[in-house]
Structure 1
C-alpha cells in the first residue's frame, strides 16, 4: 500500500524548475529530468536471471537494488527518514520484460506524518508486467500518524500470461502513543489492466466522518488491516492452498474474507495486532518461496 506508480516524463519545452503536472510515459527516459520523488526501473532476463538493467530515482525517493543469489531481482523503495510528509508525491515506474520475476518491497514500515492545513501526501505505482513475468509488491505495513492524510494509487498493466502478487497493509497508528485509527484520511486504489480492459479493481477509503474509525461498529478491536491480490495462472496452486488453510480454525483473532476472480483472488484480512496479521500473511504466502527461492520476509523478521 505504500507504492503508487506512474511513469512521468517532463515536457522538453517546460521550465526545468517547474515540478507541477509532469507528463507520463513509459521507458527508460535517459537524459530526461525526473521531478522530485520520481523513480523508474526496468528488469530484463539476462543469463537465466532477472536483472535490473536501468534504475533512476530523485530525492527523496531511493530505489536500492541489492546483489542477491537466485533468479529473482529485488528492488527496495525508501525515502529519507523512512516516511512521508505533507506535500510528498512519490511515483515509481516499473517495467518487467518477459520471463522475469521481481519483488518490490521496503526496508521497514513507511511512516506517514501528520498533515498540515489538510495537505496530504501520495504514492503512485505504475507497473508493466510482460509475458510469463511475475511481480510481487510486498511492502512493510503503512503507519499513518494522528492527523495524517494519505492517498495511494497503483496501476499494473499485465500481459496475457503475467502474474501479480500485491500486498497492501496498514496499522492503526503508533500504539505506544495511544493512537488508534486517528489519521485524517486514507485512500488506496489498485487497478489491474490487460489490453486496455480493467481486469481487477480494489479500492479502500477510511475516513472518520460521522463516527471515529475506532468505533466498535467500524474498525473496533482490530489494529491491522491487509488486502492481498493474487492474479495469474502460475499462482493457481498457491491460491488454492490459501483457501484450504482458511478452512482451518484459528485462535489468533484474525478475520478474513475471499473474493474469487476468474484468474485470481482478493483476500482481505483484519487482526488484533500487526504481529498476528504478519504471521497469517507469512503462513498463507509461504508458497512464494517456490517462485522466488525465498519469501519477501525471510531477511526481515
Structure 2
C-alpha cells in the first residue's frame, strides 16, 4: 500500500458526489516539492516520500470507485524546471451509473519541467457510463509522459465490454498549437462492443513529448517498429511520430495484465528520470 498524507474535506452523500483537487509542484534546490495539495471528498491525494528528485502524488477515491453522478476534477501546475508524477492508488473503477460519471484533468507544464501522468487502467463495470477529459498545456521545452489504459471490465464475471458508454478526450497543446486532439468513444449504440473488439480485453495509449524524452522516444520507436506481425497475437502495438518531438504508442491486448505490463516496460526508463521507481514501491 502507498503510504503518504492525504488532505480532504468532510464526506458528502454517496450518490452524485462532486470532488475537485488542486495540485502545484515547484522546484526547490535540486528537488521538486508539492507546493499545493488540496482535495475535496470523494477525491484523496497521497504524497509519499521517495528517494529521487521528483515529487509524486497518487489519487484515490472514497468508496473504491465512481458511482452514479460522480464528477471529479483535477487542476495541476508544474513550475519551471520541476519534475512531477501523478498516478493512482489502483484502477479507476466505474460502477453502474445511469446518469453517468465524469473525470476532468487540466494540467499546465512550465518551461523545462516534466510531468508524468501514469494512472492505473480504467475499468468500467456493466451498466457504467463514463466520460473522461484530459487537457495538457505545455510551455516551450516542457516534457510530458502520459499513459491511458482502459480494460473490458470484470470479464471473469461475464461483464466483458458490458458498460453503456465510455468516452476519453485527450488534448495536448504547446504555445496554443495542438499537438494531439483526439477522442475515443466506445458505445454499443455504434455496434456490440464484444464483437467490435474481438479477442482484445484492453486498449491503451502511451504518449511521449518533449526534449527530455528524445532518447526514450528513439529507442521505443525502433523497438516497437521491429516487432513481427503475428496472426492472432495476444498483443498488437504501433508507434507513430507526433511532430518533431513526440511519439504515440498504441496497444491492444487480450488481457489487462499483458497491457499494463507492456506499458510499464515501455516506461521502464521513468525510474531513472525520477530517481526512484514509482511502481516497485507500490507493493
Same fold at TM > 0.5: yes
SS at match of 2:212: helix
Residue pairs, 1:1-301, within 5 angstroms: 36-116=18-98, 119-215=99-195, 218-246=196-224, 247-249=226-228, 253-262=234-243, 263-300=245-282
Q: Give me the whole-angstrom Cα distance separating, in 1, the residues matched to 2:160 and 2:272.
A: 37
Over aligned residues, Cα RMSD in angstroms?
1.6
CA apart distance, 1:122:
0.5
CA apart distance, 1:286:
1.0
Q: Give me the whole-angstrom Cα distance separating, in 2, the residues matched to 1:200 and 1:292.
A: 25
SS at match of 1:296: coil
* Preserved CA contact (<8 Å) 1:106 1:139: yes
CA apart distance, 1:250:
8.3
Q: Give me the whole-angstrom Cα distance separating, in 2, the residues matched to 1:245 and 1:195.
A: 31
* Preserved CA contact (<8 Å) 2:72 2:103: yes
Q: Give me the whole-angstrom Cα distance separating, in 2, the residues matched to 1:96 and 1:58.
A: 21
Structure 1 stretches lacking a partner, 5+ long: 1-34
CA apart distance, 1:248:
3.6
How many pairs were matched up? 263
Partner of 1:22 in structure 2? none
* Preserved CA contact (<8 Å) 1:242 1:285: no
* Preserved CA contact (<8 Å) 2:83 2:113: yes
* Preserved CA contact (<8 Å) 2:102 2:131: yes
* Preserved CA contact (<8 Å) 1:245 1:284: no
Q: Give me the whole-angstrom Cα distance separating, in 1, the residues matched to 2:249 and 2:45.
A: 28
Q: Give me the whole-angstrom Cα distance separating, in 1, the residues matched to 2:55 and 2:85.
A: 6
SS at match of 2:63: helix
Q: What is the TM-score of this pair, normalised by structure 2?
A: 0.89
Q: Give me the whole-angstrom Cα distance separating, in 1, the residues matched to 2:178 and 2:40.
A: 31
CA apart distance, 1:278:
1.7
Q: Give me the whole-angstrom Cα distance separating, in 2, the residues matched to 1:47 and 1:83.
A: 37
What do residues 178-233 of structure 1 show as CA deviations (whole Å, max 9, x unaligned)? Answer: 11111001000111122222222132110112521110xx2100011111111111
CA apart distance, 1:103:
0.7
CA apart distance, 1:283:
1.8
Structure 2 stretches lacking a partner, 5+ long: 1-16
Q: Give me the whole-angstrom Cα distance separating, in 1, the residues matched to 2:264 and 2:48.
A: 22
Change (3 A) 1:294 1:248: farther
CA apart distance, 1:280:
1.2
Change (3 A) 1:169 1:110: same
Please state which structure has a larger fraction of its residues in helix.
2
* Preserved CA contact (<8 Å) 1:113 1:145: yes
CA apart distance, 1:234:
1.0
SS at match of 1:192: strand
SS at match of 2:126: coil
